[in-house]
């Protein structure tokens, strides 16, 4: 086997430029992702925020060559730690996965093999990728279980997935994803199926791992609270495109895209007992994305121009970009409300 390319020193953990993903279906071509740019630096946690059908999961999976059957992936740049991923052979991709990029999925029960002990499943990764002996692999599996906070790891390493709770299974998936010390961890809605107290533990673990191991994390989520709590930067996706990006605290405190702003306004805790502000309609299906700005049918600031011309993602402030013709009006309006109120 050819050696796995090692990361280029100083390169971002993930660089994506102009990523587009199409699916050929019976109902025609579905344009799931359009011209997405993303950067994740080593040790950085970037959140990809979006609703169902926004293309956030497809974006993340394309990095791993896991966009699915019938997916047509194209990109100007798609690099993990300076290594181009696009055009790699299936075997090359398999080795990038795990070695260089770890993946944690939402449904921990279906992602684990029910007939193998969790120790065997973690050890298998080490034996296949690293050629580690059985005994040493099991010892390392025990260490990993301890690292992700599983009590009594020396005993639990011999247990099967069904013997663990949902939160514990999610920790096991994280242990598997970091077993080969990848430089990038992709976590696709890792806490969506979990209760809040358990979710808090898993988010804390992710945060701890990236600080301790300097791992970059791309977190895919629909939860604004999770984004605010964990991420350094956020990219907001709508209908297959990134519509706003920037440092999390800035984006969520003074959004530059009406969609981000509307999402924030529909969060109940912001409203107190007042009536919730709603976004009319629902997110468009990827098979029927509106022309012009795809958010215009739901946008309260939309003008004729928005119907006809799709806005580009433009820098609005250093480190921040938004794809909206009316971004300045949005800022002015919010400022007016603040000064009047």
Smallest distance from another protein to CB 337, Å:
17
For another protein, which is the closer residue by CB, 28 or 272? Answer: 272
Structure tokens at 218: 């791309």
For another protein, which is the closer residue by CB, 35 or 266? Answer: 266
Smallest distance from another protein to CB 240, Å:
15
- Per the listing, tokens 């997110």 go with 283
Smallest distance from another protein to CB 201, Å:
8
Residues making contact with another protein (CB under 8 A): 51-52, 165-168, 195-200, 203-204, 222-230, 249, 252-253, 262-264, 266-273, 275-279, 282-283, 298
Structure tokens at 40: 């994740």
CB-CB contact of 122 with 139 (8 Å): no
For another protein, which is the closer residue by CB, 33 or 150? Answer: 150
For another protein, which is the closer residue by CB, 178 or 263? Answer: 263
Sign of the Cα torsion 237, 90, 178, 144 reads positive
Cα 334 to Cα 36, 205, 251, distances in angstroms: 28, 36, 13
For another protein, which is the closer residue by CB, 88 or 109? Answer: 109
Smallest distance from another protein to CB 232, Å:
11
Smallest distance from another protein to CB 48, Å:
14
> HEC string of 234-288?
EEEEECCEEEEEEEHHHHHHCCCCHHHHHHHHCCHHHHCCCCCCCCCCCCCCCCC
CB neighbours of residue 269 within 10 Å: 7
């Amino acid at each position: 086997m050819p050696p796995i390319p090692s990361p280029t020193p100083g390169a971002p953990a993930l660089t994506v430029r102009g990523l587009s993903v199409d699916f050929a279906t019976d109902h025609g071509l579905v344009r799931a992702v359009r011209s997405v740019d993303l950067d994740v630096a080593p040790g950085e946690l970037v959140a990809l925020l979006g609703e169902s059908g926004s293309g956030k999961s497809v974006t993340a999976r394309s990095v791993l060559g896991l966009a699915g059957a019938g997916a047509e992936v194209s990109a100007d740049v798609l690099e993990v730690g300076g290594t181009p991923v696009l055009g790699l052979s299936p075997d090359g991709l398999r080795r990038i996965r795990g070695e260089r990029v770890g993946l944690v999925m939402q449904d921990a029960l279906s992602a684990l093999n029910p007939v193998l002990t969790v120790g065997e499943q973690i050890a298998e990764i080490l034996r296949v990728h690293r050629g580690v002996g059985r005994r040493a692999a099991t010892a390392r599996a025990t260490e990993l279980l301890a690292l992700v906070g599983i009590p009594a790891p020396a005993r639990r390493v011999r247990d099967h997935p069904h013997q663990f709770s949902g939160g514990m299974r999610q920790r096991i998936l994280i242990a598997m994803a970091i077993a080969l010390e990848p430089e990038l961890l992709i976590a696709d809605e890792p806490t969506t199926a979990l209760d809040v107290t358990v979710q808090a533990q898993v988010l804390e673990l992710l945060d701890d791992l990236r600080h301790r191991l300097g791992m970059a994390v791309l977190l895919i989520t629909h939860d604004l609270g999770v984004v605010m709590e964990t991420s350094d930067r956020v990219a907001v996706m709508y209908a297959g495109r990134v519509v706003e990006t920037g440092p999390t605290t800035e984006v969520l405190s003074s959004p530059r895209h009406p969609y981000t702003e509307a999402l924030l306004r529909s969060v109940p805790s912001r409203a107190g007992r007042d009536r919730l502000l709603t976004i009319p309609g629902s997110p468009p299906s990827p098979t029927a994305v509106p022309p012009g700005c795809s958010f215009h049918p739901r946008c309260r600031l939309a003008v004729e121009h928005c119907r006809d011309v799709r806005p580009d993602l433009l820098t609005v402030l250093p480190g921040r970009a938004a794809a909206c013709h009316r971004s300045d009006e949005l800022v002015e309006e919010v400022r007016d409300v603040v000064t009047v109120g």
